[in-house]
Amino acid sequence: MHPIVFQVGNLVVYSHGLLAAVGILIGSFFIGWLAKRHGLKLREYWDMILYSILAGLVGARLGYVILYYHEFSRFREIFYIWQGGLVSYTGLIFGFGMAAWWLYLKKQKIAPWLDVGILGVLLGWGIARIGCFLAGDLIGKVTESRLGIIFPTIDFLPRFPVALFEAVGVFLLFGILIYLFQKKTTFPGLIFILGVAGYALIRFGVDFWRIYSFGPQPALNLSQIFSLIVLVISIIILIYLKRKVGNGSKIYPRKKS
C-alpha cells in the first residue's frame, strides 16, 4: 500500500486525498465537455460544480455523523473531516440535489444534465476508489484466495481489496453507460437512473467482501440495505419514465459536422 505519495517537511500528500481531487477534476471537466458536445449550455457551470461538491461533502459528513454519532465525544469533532468519516450515498444525494436546484433556478432542463452528470461522477468515483485502495481505507474480509492482498496499514493479513473491486465495477458501468449515451436513443433521465441503479447493485455486491467493524458481521449491513432501497426506487422510476416517455425518444442533438 502507498497511503502517502510524498512528504515535504510538514506537508503530507496522501494518495486517497490526491486521487479524490484528481477524480473530482477529471469528472468535472468530462461533464462540461460532454454537455457541450451534446448541446447543453450553462454559463455558470463551474459555479454549479463548486456548490455541488461542497454540498456533497456536507451531505457525506452529515450522513456519517447521523449513523455513527457514538464515535463523537465532543461536538467540535464533527468538523474534523480530515480524520475521515464520510457516507457516499448521502454525499451523492446532496451533491446531485444541489445541482438539480441550481439547474432549476437557471431554467435548464434537469434530466439531460443529470445524465451527463452521472457519467462524470462515475469516472471520478472510480479514480477516487483507487486512492482508497492505495491508502488501505476500506477493510475487506480475510481470504486465502489469490485475490487477497496484504494491507500493512491494518494487520498484515491477506484481505479482499474491496476498494479495487468497486473501482473496477464503476469503470465497467461507466463504459456501458457512455456507450448507451452515445447511441442517442435514450429518453431524459435514463442514463442517470441506470447509473444510480448500477452503482447500488455494485455497492450491494462488493459489501459482501467488506467489513465495517471487527467482530460478528450482520447478514446485510446498512450500506447494503440502503443499496437495495435505492435499487428498488430506481427500478420503479425507470418503469414510470419508460411508460411516460416511451422507448426510443431521441433527445440529445447530434453534433454538427
Average pLDDT over every residue of 37-53 = 92
Average pLDDT over every residue of 216-244 = 88
pTM attached to this predicted model: 0.88
Q: What is the pLDDT of residue 251?
A: 46
Q: Is residue 218 part of a domain?
A: no
Using alpha carbons, select from 239, 247, 160, 232 the residue that is nearest to residue 200: 232
Q: How many domains does the chain have?
A: 1
Q: Is residue 244 part of a domain?
A: no
Residue 247 predicted with pLDDT over 60: no
Which domain covers residue 31, as residue numbers?
4-179
Segment of 56-60, 90-94, 173-177, 246-250 carrying the highest mean pLDDT: 173-177
Average pLDDT over every residue of 99-105 = 95
Q: What is the pLDDT of residue 256?
A: 43
Q: What is the pLDDT of residue 245?
A: 67
Give dist(CA 98, CA 13) in Å, integer: 29
Q: Is residue 70 part of a domain?
A: yes
Residue 248 predicted with pLDDT over 60: no
Q: Is residue 11 part of a domain?
A: yes
Residue 21 predicted with pLDDT over 70: yes
Q: Is residue 194 part of a domain?
A: no
Q: Is residue 202 part of a domain?
A: no
Give dist(CA 124, CA 60) in Å, integer: 16
Residue 229 predicted with pLDDT over 90: yes
CB distance 26 to 107 below 8 Å? no
